[in-house]
Amino acid sequence: MTAHPALKDISIVNDVLILKKNHKIIRRMQRVLPGPEIHGYQVWGSSFLIMDYLLENPPKKKAKITEIGCGWGILGISCAQHFKAKVTAIDADEHVFPYLDAHAMLNDVNIATRIARYEHLKPADLKGHSLMLGGDICFWDNLVKPLFSAIEAAREAGVGTIIIADPGRSPFHKLAKRCQKAFGATLVTREISSPKKLSGELLIITQ
């Protein structure tokens, strides 16, 4: 079946509309706006692993959820859409937020945004939030310590579940080992077939 012209260069994943990189809106934004600086120039696959996991293990309706290293914010948008979650999307790179805002508008959800580095997150910033999520955010060794700091802040704030997903890179495994030792975290393998065949691991920390 041929897609409707209005859906040209748009993917639909778990009912979330995602602009492809060659969509005219994305191309125009790339021409007129400063480009993302920390790999926030597309949607990375590990977000889809968490989206799939949450559809099977849904949070409570209207829960407060933080997405860290949000990039285009598709994971948070999915939570707002499916679970009516109150989402705060955090990234160190302010230049990703126009792309997030475009997708939030496209999917008719509201997402709060904040510029912050992982190590600058304090328990007060995460108070009252049920989940902290992040996909493909531990790709350099120098991110392990800041992410561990963010996880510590979330636990001190009482965040019940923290989920970090990754294809299985070395820095992620270093973070996972620290969290397993410190918090009894679990590492879960996850595979999905849509939007394409992907596999990876979820680091899940609960309290």
pLDDT at position 2: 46
Low-confidence ranges of the chain (pLDDT < 70): 1-7, 35-42
pLDDT at position 1: 44
pLDDT at position 203: 98
pTM of the model: 0.90
pLDDT at position 6: 57
CATH H-level superfamily of 5-206: Vaccinia Virus protein VP39 (3.40.50.150)
pLDDT at position 5: 59
SS3 string, the chain, reads CCCCHHHCCEEEECCEEEECCCCHHHHHHHHHCCCCCCCCCCCCCHHHHHHHHHHHCCCCCCCEEEEECCCCCHHHHHHHHHHCCEEEEEECCHHHHHHHHHHHHHCCCCCEEEECCHHHCCHHHHCCCCEEEEECCCCCHHHHHHHHHHHHHHHHHCCCEEEEEECCCHHHHHHHHHHHHHHCCEEEEEEECCCCCEEEEEEEEEC
All structural domains of the chain with their residue ranges: 5-206
